[in-house]
């Protein structure tokens, strides 16, 4: 028995993280792979969540969802509300009412559900969910304020939908409905009071503990986790399903303060969120009886289709009737409402409660909900980028470079990249260097790249990589750490200022999150010496007649490859470990001293 439990838990982790990795490789929403892996594992009997977790199943699910919602709250910045507040308010008030009403109507007259179950299903499907929307937004990269609207809506609609589902559940299970209105008012009042007051007070209390250094660094993540779970449990104890709002508010409070450093907490919660989402979808999907799915009629796929082409567009149209956004932005909002983990968890919890009360028909609710999740994620996930491009709302793939340190050779390279429509932002605290870059027609920022002001003011549109080229190792390390969280560790590079042995540099690369630039032995000082000896930026097209190896042989040690431009216009930076391999059609940028031999096919810049 103990071995079976160990195997089951390990399978959940392996399938969940494996699905996440596969999603990253093929650039499709991870929930698709998680659901199919869960369905398969449950169908063949590898994972039986009810036997594996017993009575702990839904408490664990609820607490995990609470942690996910707290992490979502940490991503919400109140300054964004200045431009989207009115539109957002309409979407999370009028939108859910319209969605609930039409969904209930379809559940009764299309699916044939009893009225009580139809009303509950309609309330559950009000939610969208940040667990799906935020990864989609990263892939699509929509322009303007549309990304902020969808992010805020996805996070705030979850506690609203969960509360609505609770209200419906309380009403449909009442034996005496004469006091239903009073009960609804009490539940809503308690939920709002607990959510705002308990969440706000907890967030402020956590802030004081962090600001006053009452918690040592190594305990800050565990203590935050403890407080979030405590707030969630306490709130849910006083009022069912109010915990989601409480932890979301707590996350918003911490995200919008400037008195304590919480970057490490945000990073920890992001990693924890991936693990929790992966595990939850595998567990909940494994509970679905595939025989019950096969027994459903053709009306269920039609129901899913109508949720996409009728319910969402109509609710957005009503909610944004007078919103200060464009028709194209409204159209994209209408085509983005995938369901996520909260819908899955809430449907499973309330279905189980109804079954325990003798309502066996409630078993169909999680099945329909999961089909809606699969259908919406599949359709939106495949089509979102195409729709955004057709509406001219998709940012192009970020190919540009953020260069911190406006050295003369870096400016020469950047100027040529800009002339080929590659976005470049140069940052330096040296006014002379930044003025020279500005005179060359480049986007610039004068100041420290490490300041909070810089992060708020820098225009990073089109930027996807960072090169730290300052003469200071510590500064380069801090730059790599800061922008590694934004671009990804694999897209952040740094030059070293002192000559180091390969083993030490490899260790530093991983600990400081900056990939060592160019070649072994090439430091800031050696690159500047090379430049002062007469080296200049050269572009060399790689052809079948003149390969990259020919380039290296031609210039011997006089050329330092900096980056290679692929045929589709993507710059790939040379690094000490795992450098790119330029092929036919690439163009290599190098810092080169001309040699007195047969000329190579290159241009000086």
Report the CATH number that the domain containing residue 270 is assigned in CATH: 1.20.1530.20
> Which 3 state secondary structure label does DSSP give 453?
helix
Residue 108 binned pLDDT confidence (cut-offs 50, 70, 90):
very high
Question: Which residues constitute the domain of residue 512?
Answer: 400-604
Q: 406 with 427, same domain?
A: yes
pLDDT in tens, 198-244: 988 998 998 888 888 898 888 888 898 899 999 989 988 888 778 88
Q: Which two three-digit tokens encode residue 539?
A: 């572009």
Is 33 part of any domain? no
Q: 408 with 427, same domain?
A: yes
Q: Check pLDDT > 60 for residue 509.
A: no
Say how far apart CA 393 and CA 464 lie, in whole Å: 18
Q: Check pLDDT > 60 for residue 197.
A: yes
Is 372 part of any domain? yes
pLDDT in tens, 454-489: 776 777 777 888 888 888 777 888 888 888 877 777
Task: List C-alpha distances in Å: 475 to 266, 310, 448, 454, 494.
Answer: 22, 53, 10, 15, 10
Q: 350 with 457, same domain?
A: no
Number of domains into which the chain is organized? 2
Longest distance between any two alpha carbons in the chain, whole Å: 98
pLDDT of 310 reads 93
Average pLDDT, stretch 322-346? Answer: 86
Q: 566 with 594, same domain?
A: yes
Is 66 part of any domain? yes
Judge whether 19 and 37 are in contact, CB under 8 Å. yes
Say how far apart CA 340 and CA 202 lie, in whole Å: 27
End-of-domain residue from the set 366, 390, 414: 390
Q: Residue holding tokens 């006053």?
A: 212
Q: 406 with 349, same domain?
A: no
Q: 107 with 150, same domain?
A: yes
Instruction: Give the chain's end-to-end CA distance (angstroms, integer).
Output: 70
Say how far apart CA 86 and CA 94 lie, in whole Å: 12
pLDDT of 595 reads 58
Say how far apart CA 589 and CA 586 lie, in whole Å: 10
Query: Quick one: residue 459, left, alpha or beta (phi over 0 = left, psi -120 to 50 = alpha)?
Result: beta
**Residue 386: CB partners within 8 Å, gap ≥ 6?**
none
Q: 151 with 276, same domain?
A: yes
pTM over 0.75: no
* Cα 574 versus chain centre, distance: 28
Judge whether 5 and 110 are in contact, CB under 8 Å. no
Q: What is the mean pLDDT of the chain?
A: 82
Q: Check pLDDT > 60 for residue 118.
A: yes
Q: 313 with 409, same domain?
A: no
Residue 289 binned pLDDT confidence (cut-offs 50, 70, 90):
confident
Report the CATH number that the domain containing residue 485 is assigned in CATH: 3.40.50.720
Is 42 part of any domain? no
Q: 406 with 381, same domain?
A: no
End-of-domain residue from the set 355, 390, 425: 390
pLDDT of 596 reads 55
pLDDT of 602 reads 53
Is 5 part of any domain? no
Residue 512 binned pLDDT confidence (cut-offs 50, 70, 90):
low
Residue 540 binned pLDDT confidence (cut-offs 50, 70, 90):
confident
Count of residues in the chain: 605
């Amino acid at each position: 028995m103990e071995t079976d439990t160990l195997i089951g838990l390990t399978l959940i982790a392996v399938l969940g993280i494996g699905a996440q990795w596969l999603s990253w490789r093929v650039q499709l929403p991870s929930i698709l792979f998680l659901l199919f892996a869960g369905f398969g594992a449950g169908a063949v009997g590898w994972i039986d969540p009810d036997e594996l977790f017993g009575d702990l199943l839904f408490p664990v699910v609820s607490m995990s969802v609470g942690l996910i919602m707290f992490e979502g709250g940490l991503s919400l910045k109140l300054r964004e509300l200045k431009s989207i507040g009115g539109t957002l308010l309409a979407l999370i008030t009028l939108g859910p009412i319209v969605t609930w009403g039409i969904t209930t109507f379809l559940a009764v007259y299309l699916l044939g559900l009893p009225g009580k179950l139809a009303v509950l299903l309609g309330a559950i499907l009000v939610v969208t969910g940040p667990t799906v929307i935020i990864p989609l937004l990263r892939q699509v990269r929509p322009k303007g304020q549309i990304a902020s609207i969808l992010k805020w809506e996805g996070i705030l609609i979850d506690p609203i939908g969960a509360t609505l589902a609770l209200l419906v559940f309380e009403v449909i299970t009442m034996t005496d409905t004469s006091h239903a209105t009073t009960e609804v008012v009490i539940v809503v009042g308690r939920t709002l009071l607990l959510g705002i007051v308990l969440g706000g007070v907890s967030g402020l209390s956590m802030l004081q503990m962090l600001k006053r250094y009452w918690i040592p660094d190594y305990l800050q993540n565990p203590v935050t986790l403890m407080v979030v779970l405590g707030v969630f449990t306490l709130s849910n104890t006083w009022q069912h399903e109010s915990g989601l709002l409480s932890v979301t508010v707590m996350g918003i409070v911490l995200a919008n303060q400037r008195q304590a450093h919480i970057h490490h907490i945000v990073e920890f919660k992001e990693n924890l969120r991936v693990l929790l989402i992966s595990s939850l979808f595998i567990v909940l999907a494994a509970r679905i009886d595939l025989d019950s799915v096969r027994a459903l009629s053709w009306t269920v796929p039609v129901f899913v289709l109508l949720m996409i082409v009728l319910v969402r567009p109509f609710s957005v149209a009503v909610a944004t009737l007078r919103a200060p956004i464009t028709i194209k932005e409204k159209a994209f909002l209408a085509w983005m409402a995938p369901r996520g983990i909260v819908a899955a968890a809430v449907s499973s919890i309330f279905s189980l409660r109804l079954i325990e009360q003798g309502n066996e028909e409630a078993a169909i609710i999680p099945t329909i909900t999961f089909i809606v999740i699969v259908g919406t994620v599949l359709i939106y996930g495949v089509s979102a980028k195409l729709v955004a491009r057709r509406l001219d709302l998709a940012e192009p793939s970020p190919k540009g470079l953020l260069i911190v340190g406006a050295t003369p050779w870096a400016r020469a390279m950047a100027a040529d990249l800009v002339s080929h429509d590659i976005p470049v932002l140069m940052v330096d605290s040296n006014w002379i260097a930044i003025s020279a870059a500005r005179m060359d027609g480049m986007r610039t920022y004068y100041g420290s790249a490490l300041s909070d002001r810089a992060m708020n003011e820098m225009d990073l549109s089109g930027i996807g990589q960072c090169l730290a080229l300052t003469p200071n190792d510590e500064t380069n390390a801090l730059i790599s750490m800061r922008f590694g969280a934004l671009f990804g560790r694999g897209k952040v590079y740094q030059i070293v200022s002192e000559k180091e042995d390969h083993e030490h540099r490899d260790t530093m690369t991983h600990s400081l999150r900056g990939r060592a630039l160019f070649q072994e032995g090439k430091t800031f000082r050696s690159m500047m010496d090379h430049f002062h000896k007469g080296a200049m930026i050269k572009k060399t097209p790689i052809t079948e007649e003149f390969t990259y190896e020919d380039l290296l042989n031609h210039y011997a040690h006089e050329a330092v490859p900096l980056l290679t431009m692929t045929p589709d216009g993507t710059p790939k930076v040379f690094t000490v470990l795992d450098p790119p391999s330029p092929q036919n059609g690439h163009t290599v940028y190098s810092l080169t001293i001309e040699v007195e031999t047969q000329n190579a096919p290159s241009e000086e810049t």
